[in-house]
Structure 1
Amino acid sequence: MVIILMGVAGAGKTTLGKRLAEALGWRFLEGDDFHPPENVAKMASGVPLTDVDRAPWLERLRGLIAEAVTRGEDLVVACSGLRRSYRLLLTVDPSRVRWVYLSAPREEIARRLKLRQGHFMPPSLLDSQFETLEAPEDALEVDVAREPEEVVAAIRAGLKV
């Protein structure tokens, strides 16, 4: 199975993804690690990415997910997956790819972004993240305004893993 944790910047995709993967004994992939340098520079300068900017990044992630599915590898991926079209592209096998939508009120996400250090995504891009977000109808939605252990437990219970 491939579990993709999605949501806006600051939702906890990386923190929760690492914890979930560790709890399950699965490999973890940080989607941000696969952005081309141009995308990182653009975001770091406070400019939101466009669909054209995201296309090569999404294709690379699709390839990595497809490889895991082909090998029968269990994997946890952190990826914003903000638009439905992105999620459709990354769902290489609907029987093996599950989405988890990490949600919280905008105020909670903004608070988290202000506290975050060492990440290329500035808090000023939060509005563009919420504008781009098309909340999924076919994902397990988990409120992340709780302790990480509680969120991981909720994900495991919701997906029965």
Structure 2
Amino acid sequence: MDPSSCPSLYSGKFDMEQMKESLAHWIMMHQHPFSIVEKDELNLFCRRGMPEWRVMTRNTAKAHWINVYESKKKKLKGLLKNMNKISLTTDCGKSNNQKIEYMVIIGHWIDQNWQLQKRVLNFVHILPPPVEVLKLQMPFGVAWRIGESRVRSTLYLRLMLQQMIQPLKI
């Protein structure tokens, strides 16, 4: 990290509310569990640098995280309200901590300065493909020398599309 990109020391008054907001950003950006705020090591680190630091609970951290999230969501909605065209893409993944499969929806658009912008708009929990279907498809894939990952990817895509389209049906 370039030291010149770090903000200089703040000589003003300690503000615990700003610290809670900064901690919420840190948790969000690094995907830490909310329970990290109750760890002795983190609190020792914070108290050494800021003696006014007060220990908070995971519920307090979660509440501040939700406030930061809602604030950013409101700002993004206001920005997107003025866009004429937005392209949506999706990608699938699995969380590191809980092994939950999800689909992320990303919006892409050109801003007023003709710069390509993209933002994560939503995460959707998806169910893994049924094991029985995979068991039936695997012998076919092996017989035709189709890679296992390609067969699963196709199945994931089909199931996700079904889950996405179902609520849109009238």
User: Same fold per TM (> 0.5)?
Assistant: no
User: Greater RCO between the two (CA within 8 Å, min separation 6)?
Assistant: 1
Could you state the TM-score of these two structures normalised by the residue count of structure 2?
A: 0.29
Larger-Rg structure? 2
